[in-house]
Structure 1
Amino acid sequence: MKDIILKAENISKQYRLGQVGTGTLSHDLNRWWHQIRGKENPYLKIGDTNDRSTKGTSDYVWALQDINFEVERGEVLGIIGKNGAGKSTLLKILSKVTAPTTGSIKSRGRIASLLEVGTGFNVEMTGRENIFLNGAILGMTKKEITSKLDEIIEFSGCQRYIDTPVKRYSSGMTVRLAFAVAAFLEPEILVVDEVLAVGDAEFQKKAIGKMQDISKGEGRTVLFVSHDLAAIKALCPKTILLNNGRVQLIASTDHVIEEYFKSNAISDSVIEKKRAKIITDIIIPEKSEILSGEIFKFSVHFDNKGLEYASLGYLIKNDRGNAVMAANMHQYGESLKIDNGQNKIEVSIEKLPLAPGQYSLSLYLSNGAYDLDIIEDVVLFNVFWNNDDVIVPKKNWGSAFAKTEWIY
């Protein structure tokens, strides 16, 4: 049987825009009047979907709607989605920082949360005092905390400042100590938001290694939110994809990242869903395969009305969302020939230096001082080996490709 340690049932969270709390006094009285008569909250029937890119028609918005999932003991679950998808709201509800509007959270065991830099810290107290304070909040005795104290301080790398008030810590030092406290005071469930990105590369590597140890070696559960898809892929066998406050997919991390990548891109040549201000269309030849080491061409159409000067640039990202190559006309001392009525340009990349895999193309126009137009991940495309006779094992080849001469 499954050992379920955390369960979310029909979780929804509603906010009123522009307000502190849930709304005005009249709205609260209306809720109370419906409640004492045994009727449903009238404001649950209204509200817009959580789409930050649209204006909306209601003062109420659903940050989350009908979220359901289960987490097994010892599981590392990733949560990804675009900005505003509801990731941080969900973690706050799971951590019991805020309550859901509807639905319930059932958990077995202590939950330690790392949601924002310094969450749960008293900035007037020293790092050492905050370790004991957080341990007490988690229900640990002073003896238990003392037994872990040296490990926490060593992992954090803040030995020199451990008896200094936290208000004098940098954001990186604060998150180092906060993570060490959350990880070493042995909660059954560790909830980690994007906050790890504040730390340097060395700390991020240590933190991910520690989360792997927590789940595999110690059988504890980790919920991890990050925009770093490489970290999600390395750490989480299963991932939830949130989109506009709803669960779009719960599946293996590789599959979820692929769907996330597709949802941010447009497979056809017309960019209606991501309509730009100036860039109007991008066309990639669909009949021929895009091959490593060969020419890669695409054309960009734009509206030249009102433009006096502009240069085009592109950015290519891999399936983990990492930028792998970029170029712009300004680098070559060139610009669009707007004075000649030009509204289309063809881009040709000689000897495409990308290994086989899935990539996205982003475009931007600049006038040299600021960006005129940006469209991120507008087209999704695949790159293949340029030799069908070569037997290629299924493995990660990285992103860069170079024709190499082998001299015997």
Structure 2
Amino acid sequence: MKDIILKAENISKQYRLGQVGTGTLSHDLNRWWHQVRGKDNPYLKIGDVNDRSTKGSSDYVWALQDINFEVERGEVLGIIGKNGAGKSTLLKILSRVTAPTTGSIQFGGRVASLLEVGTGFNGEMTGRENIFLNGAILGMTKKEITAKLDEIIDFSGCERYIDTPVKRYSSGMTVRLAFAVAAFLEPEILVIDEVLAVGDAEFQKKAIGKMQDISRGGGRTVLFVSHNMAAVKSLCTRGIVLEYGKVVLEDTIENAISHYLKGRGDAMNSKNFNDDFDKEVFKLNSISLKNKSKTIIDPLAENDIIELLTDIDIKDTEHLRYHITYHIQNEMGEAMFSFSNATDGTNLKQGNNQLKCFFPKDFFQSGQYFLSLFVIKDKREAIFVDEDIISFTVVDRIREMGVYMGREPGYIKPIFMWENKL
């Protein structure tokens, strides 16, 4: 039988735009009148989906709608999605910071949360005092906290400043101490929302290792939100993908990450934009990739030159002020490198531009990649940014018989010059 430690049923959260709390007095009275007559809240029947890029028709918006999932004891669940998808709202509900509009949550243990830097800390109190304060909030006795005190201080790396008020800590020091408290005071459920991104690389590695230890060795449960897909994949066993406040996928962490990273770039290797990207300064028509000797419908082979074609119209008469830059990420969402047409003086002209960029053959390893587009003004201001605007897949089409058949490490295969002087 499953050992379920957390169960969320039909969780929804509704907000009224521009208002504090539930809104106007008339709306509150209307809710109360429906309630005393045994009827449903009338405002649950209205409201737009949580799409921040469009203008809605209602003052009400659903930050979350009909969220259902279960978490087993000792499981590490990754919750991923774009900004505004509802991740933080869900974690606030799970942490009991805010109540759901509808639905219920069943817990099987104590919950500790790191929702933002310094969660639950009092800036006027020292680091040591805040450890005892947070431990008490978690239901720990003074004796239990004292037994863990040295470990917490050592892990945080803040020993020199442990008797200094927290208001004088940097954001990195604060999150170090907050994570150490939450991890070592042994809550049954640990909820973490992106705060580790504040810490340096060394601390992030320590924190991820500690979360792995407490979930696998300690049998405790972790709910983890992050935009760092490498961290999510290394830590989590299962993933939930949120879009516009709804669960669109609940699957293995590999499948969840793949679904999330495809984004709007799911038209593989080629994408037409029509009027979607018709701006005051420019109009983006299409982006496509193909091998130099093939068409865009053929698979991209790693052993042939790859052409990247950007079809863009420039409307501004001061056209020399603009250029485009691409960022390329691997399938884990890790940035690999950026490149721009400005580096070799290939200027954009007024009217239609069909920019071609050529990747040498055998440059990419086989795998999936994602491009983010930036339109830059005066070499310093990004007037347009679209992340993961298109994805493309490179395949290995030729292998000599008898050679190594596995995938080489890394994502690119640079060709270097060699010498052998006798």
Give TM class, smaller chain.
Answer: over 0.9
Given that 1:271 and 1:280 are in contact with CA atoms closer than 8 Å, whether structure 2 keeps it comes out as yes
Q: Which amino acid aligns with 2:153?
A: I
Q: Which moved more, 1:350-359 or 1:43-52?
A: 350-359
* TM-fit CA distance, 1:117: 0.5
Identity of aligned residues (%): 62
Structure 1 distance, partners of 2:275, 2:99, is: 34
Whether the 8 Å contact between 2:263 and 2:388 is mirrored in structure 1 is: no
Determine the C-alpha separation between the residues in 2 that align with 1:393 and 1:59. Answer: 58
1:17-36 matches, within 5 Å, as: 17-36=17-36
Work out the CA distance in 2 between the residues paired with 1:276 and 1:394: 44
Cα distance, 1:387 vs. partner?
2.5
Moved more, 396-405 or 93-102: 396-405
| Other structure's SS at 2:272 match | coil
TM alignment of 1:272-311, pairs within 5 A? 272=274, 275=277, 277=279, 278=282, 279-285=284-290, 286-292=296-302, 294-308=304-318, 309=320, 310-311=322-323
Distance 2:257 2:172 in 1: 28
Instruction: Decide whether the 8 Å contact of 1:360 with 1:379 is kept in 2.
Output: yes
Structure 1 residue aligned with 2:346: 334
1:24 aligned partner, one-letter code: T
1:329 counterpart letter in structure 2: N
Q: What is the TM-score of this pair, normalised by structure 2? A: 0.91
Deviations along 1:310-351, whole A, 9 cap, x unmatched? Answer: 22222211111112122112222331133xx44322222233
1: CA distance, partners of 2:195 / 2:345? 40
The 2-side partners of 1:396 and 1:252 are apart by 25
What do the CA deviations read for 1:115-146 (whole angstroms, capped 9, x no partner)?
01111111111111111111111111100000
76-85 or 327-336, larger mean C-alpha shift: 327-336
Question: Residues 35-82 of structure 1, C-alpha deviation per residue, up to 9 Å, x if partnerless?
Answer: 111110011001000111111111110000000000000000001000
Tell whether the 8 Å contact from 2:289 to 2:308 is kept in structure 1 after alignment.
Answer: yes
CA distance in 2, matches of 1:342, 1:263: 27
Match for 1:271: what amino acid?
A: F
Q: Contact conserved, 2:113 with 2:192, CA < 8 A, in 1?
A: yes
Q: Where does 1:133-148 land on structure 2 (aligned, <5 Å)?
A: 133-148=133-148
Give the whole-Å Cα distance in 2 for the aligned partners of 1:281 and 1:83: 25
Distance in 2 of aligned mates of 1:86 and 1:263: 16
How far 1:266 moved relative to its partner? Answer: 3.8
Match of 2:271 among 269, 282, 293: 269
Query: Does the residue aligned with 2:212 lie in a helix, a strand or coil?
Result: helix
2:369 corresponds to? 359
Other structure's SS at 1:284 match:
strand
Q: What is aligned with 2:208?
A: 208
> How far does the alpha carbon of each residue in 1:161-188 deviate from its partner, in whole angstroms, 9 at most, with x for none?
1111111111100000000000000000
- What is the CA–CA distance in structure 1 between the aligned matches of 2:408 and 2:24, rounded to whole Å? 55
User: Which segment is superposed worse, 394-403 or 22-31?
Assistant: 394-403
Q: How far is 1:394 from its partner?
A: 5.7
1:206-238 Cα offsets, whole Å, 9 max, x none, are 000000000011100000000000000000011
Q: Corresponding residue for 2:129?
A: 129
Q: 1:377 aligns with which of 366, 388, 396?
A: 388
8 Å contact kept, 2:299–2:394: yes
Tell me the TM-score normalized by structure 1.
Answer: 0.94
Q: Secondary structure at the match of 1:303?
A: strand
Q: CA RMSD in A?
A: 2.0
Distance 1:256 1:302 in 2: 33
Query: Which 4+ residue blocks in structure 1 deviate beyond 6 angstroms?
Result: 404-408
Paired amino acid for 2:229? L
- Structure 2 runs not aligned, ≥5 long: 291-295
With over 3 angstroms needed to count, the CA separation of the structure-2 counterparts of 1:336 and 1:63, relative to structure 1, is: same
Q: Given that residues 35 and 41 in structure 1 are in contact (C-alpha distance below 8 angstroms), is that contact kept between their aligned partners in structure 2?
A: yes
